[in-house]
């Protein structure tokens, strides 16, 4: 216990005047103040973006219908012996397991959709700068302004 008290005393003595000295240097250096503001603005914007993405989920569609999705099934007409005469449906869908999908088809879908599919948790945040670069600035300003982008070219 005595060693812990000694350790705390040394820590307090080492850092006792550190913060007032740092504040004094900060107040005297105009370049340091400008650099801190320039660094704080992007960090604040990034933090706002993360909060918006994480917590602003009020207008998302209900996921229960997606979770309970059942594809349309085929109707069958049987003969007297129980053999299928005809299968009726708008779409022919067969549900298969993931391991029955050929590797070539998996790779083709991933190369067309998202090559980093298995390396992120659902959203690839590294594509946001590219997306922002392709965004039509006038359409974005009109959308934010509330016109819905009707006047944007």
Mean pLDDT within 44-49: 90
Dist CA 127 CA 114 (whole Å): 11
Specify the pLDDT at position 43. Answer: 93
The predicted model scores a pTM of 0.30
Specify the pLDDT at position 147. Answer: 62
Mean pLDDT within 53-71: 77
User: Sign of torsion, CA 139 145 146 147?
Assistant: negative
DSSP 96: -
Is pLDDT at 42 greater than 80 in this prediction?
yes
As a whole-number percent, the residues of the chain with pLDDT over 70 amount to 93
Specify the pLDDT at position 152. Answer: 47
């Amino acid at each position: 216990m005595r060693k812990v008290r000694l350790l705390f005393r040394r820590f307090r003595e080492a850092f006792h005047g550190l913060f007032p000295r740092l504040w004094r240097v900060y107040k005297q250096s105009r370049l340091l103040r400008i650099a801190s503001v320039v660094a704080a603005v992007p960090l604040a914007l990034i933090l706002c973006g993360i909060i918006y993405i994480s917590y602003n989920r009020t207008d998302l569609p209900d996921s229960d219908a997606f979770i309970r999705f059942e594809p349309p099934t085929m109707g069958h007409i049987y003969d007297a012996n129980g053999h299928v005469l005809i299968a009726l449906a708008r779409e022919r869908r067969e549900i298969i397991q993931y391991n029955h999908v050929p590797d070539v088809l998996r790779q083709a879908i991933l190369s067309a959709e998202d090559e980093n599919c298995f390396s992120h948790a659902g959203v690839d945040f590294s594509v946001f700068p590219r997306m922002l670069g392709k965004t039509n600035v006038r359409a974005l300003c009109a959308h934010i302004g509330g016109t819905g982008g009707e006047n944007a070219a």
